[in-house]
Amino acid sequence: MSADQGATPLGQVHVLYERAEATASTLAEKIVGSNAFAELLATTATNSMAIAGVLNTVVDRGVRATRVAARADVVELGRQLARTEDKLERLLQAVERLSAQLDALEPAEPAPPAAANGTANPARVRSAASRTRRST
């Protein structure tokens, strides 16, 4: 810095600013390096996490009060649905095993004719109707 710059009011303000900045920087480094600052930082982090937990609880209760399904509710419903599907699959396998055993024990009966009472097979009628709708 030149001598004439310190003589002007703006130059003097600049010099004072640089001194204040250097002093503040030195003090900040001393404070940040102290054990008290580390303890304060740890306490602040702990309190922040506690506040976040309380807010999470408050929001969860608010969602439950509005009777809107929360994420935990949807996850639980998914688990229940998976268990129900597994049980249904096991039941279907058991029915198929029993049906195979029954077929092995009884002689096969002749299938009744499709138009015995004058009506066509409903599956074929639906199939033909769907083909007609798709082609139009």
* pLDDT tens-digit series, residues 66-117: 888 888 889 999 999 999 999 999 999 999 999 999 988 887 666 666 555 5
5 close to 14: Cβ distance less than 8 angstroms: yes
pLDDT level of residue 57 (50, 70, 90 thresholds): very high
* Average pLDDT of the chain to the nearest whole number: 82
- If you search the block for the tokens 């996490």, which residue do you land on? 49
> Which pLDDT score is estimated for 47?
96
Model-level pTM? 0.37
The half-sphere exposure of 84 on its side-chain side, counting CA atoms within 13 A, is: 6
Mean pLDDT value across residues 25-49: 92
